[in-house]
Homo-oligomer: A and B are copies of this chain.
Amino acid sequence: MTVPVIVQGLGPMGLRILEGALRDPALRVLGGVDVDPDLVGRPLADLVPGAPPGLVHGCLAEAADAHPPGTVVLQAIGSRVAAVVPVLDEAAGLGLHVVSTCEELAWPYARHDGLVGCVHHAALASGVTLVATGVNPGFLMDRLVVALRSATHDVRRIRVERVQDPRPRRLPFREKVGVGLARAAWDDLAATGTFGHVGLEESARLVAAGFGWEIERFEGRLEPVQPDPDGPVLGTLQELWGETADGRRLELHFAAHSGVAASYDAIRLDGTPPISLRFDGGVFGDDATVAAVLAAARVIPRAPRGLVTVLDLPLR
């Protein structure tokens, strides 16, 4: 049986998700939603060849009119919890599940506990599941790390590295890591507190929860990569680390700059046995985020209800 889906947010990522969903035999695309007046009312198939007949809707309520039970909204509208809470509420009210790419929502309990508590109860009341995923946060630096507990125990140190050349990535990602900015502009953006890859703290908290580690305080740094002091910023380096009271250590390292020699992802767990794995060439984030969203949509029928995290999603 196929899972009916509606794609919400038809920007670069939403269009990729729509294309992926159309090729996925386990899913069935019902329609698309966006708030952009230039998109609303246009045939969806104008945006992505092969899309089903129908126009782009301006809101979920319209798109979900007469939707079958179990419909899942595949949502790519923003990185911040504050931006998605209203539409999560709307979806829950309409009886729709949501798989969101919202990075902050991947582990909302630390920074947005009050805000998301209401959403959780709305989802429970409607019997729907709301979950955020993507390649990162959502998989490479968190869910996959936790999955590796099946291959090593007695883990004393976890180190995850995601190192990538951002140039092949979609524009919003390149902007988020400051590729090509002047140093002063980078500094101004960094000072806003909303710059850089969103989700490192969420990944760290997912890993800690998955390992049952209590980490009282995370420390981190956000730095520009600027080898030539007179040249532009090439991108951003972000690190986050924390320790348990008994000295077990978690380290996340995220680098996205155009000086990267070769992209890679790596996970090292100092446990019994020690394990060290590496993705040669890295995992291309835009495509992998589509895969993460589609994978979550396929398993939503068997997921627990409420606002959950990727740690709660079944494997199939």
Determine whether the beta carbon of A294 is less than 8 Å from that of B153: yes
14 interchain pairs, CB-CB under 8 A: A138-B150, A143-B150, A147-B147, A152-B283, A153-B287, A272-B290, A272-B291, A273-B283, A273-B287, A273-B288, A276-B279, A277-B277, A278-B278, A314-B314
Q: Is the C-beta of A171 less than 8 angstroms from some C-beta in chain B?
A: no
Question: Which residues from chain B contact A88 at a C-beta distance below 8 Å?
Answer: none
Q: How far is the CB of A262 from chain B (nearest CB, A)?
A: 13
A90 within 8 A of B: no
Query: A295: CB under 8 A from chain B?
Result: yes
Q: Return chain B residues, CB-CB under 8 Å to A138.
A: 150
Q: Is A146 an interface residue (CB 8 A)?
A: yes
- Asked if A217 is at the interface of the complex by the 8 Å CB criterion, the answer is no
A112 sits at the interface (CB 8 A):
no
- Residue pair A288, B152 in contact (C-beta under 8 Å): yes
With A139-B150, A143-B150, A314-B312 as contacts: A276 and B287 at CB distance below 8 Å: no
What are the residues of chain B within 8 A of A271 when measuring CB–CB? 291
Copies, count: 2
* A residues in contact (CB < 8 Å) with B: 20, 23-26, 133, 135, 138-140, 143-144, 146-147, 149-154, 209-210, 212, 271-273, 275-281, 283-284, 287-288, 290-292, 294-296, 310-316
B residues less than 8 Å from A135 (CB atoms): 150-151
Name A276's closest neighbour in chain B (CB-CB).
B280
The listed residue (B146, B151, B153) touching A315 by CB distance below 8 A is B146
Q: Which of A25, A139, A288, A313 has the most CB of B within 10 A?
A: A288
How far is A281 from B140 in the complex, measured between Cα atoms in Å?
A: 21
Q: Most chain-B Cβ atoms within 10 A of its Cβ — which of A20, A150, A316?
A: A150
User: For residue A272, which residues in chain B have a CB less than 8 angstroms away from its CB?
Assistant: 20, 287, 290-291
Whether A154 pairs with B315 at a CB distance below 8 angstroms is: no
Q: A151-B283, A275-B288, A312-B314 are in contact. List 11 more A-B contacts (CB 8 A).
A: A23-B153, A23-B154, A140-B151, A143-B150, A147-B147, A149-B295, A150-B310, A272-B287, A273-B284, A273-B288, A314-B314
**Nearest B residue to A146, CB-CB:** B315
B283 in contact with A153 (CB, 8 Å):
no
A150→B23 CA distance, assembly (Å): 16
The answer, among B210, B311, B316, for a CB contact under 8 Å with A311, is B316
When C-beta atoms are compared, the residue in chain B nearest to A212 turns out to be B26
A290 to B215: give the CA distance in the assembly, Å.
26
- Closest B residue to A136 using CB positions: B151
* Residues of B contacting A312 in the complex (Cβ-Cβ under 8 angstroms): 314-316
**Partner among B26, B139, B146, B291 whose Cβ is within 8 Å of the Cβ of A316:** B146
- 10 closest cross-chain pairs (CB), A and B: A273-B284, A273-B287, A153-B291, A150-B295, A151-B288, A139-B150, A150-B292, A277-B279, A149-B295, A152-B291
Query: Which residues on B sit within 8 Å (CB–CB) of A151?
Result: 135, 139-140, 144, 283, 288, 291-292
Q: Are B283 and A24 in contact (CB under 8 A)?
A: no
Bound complex: CA A146 to CA B147 (Å): 11
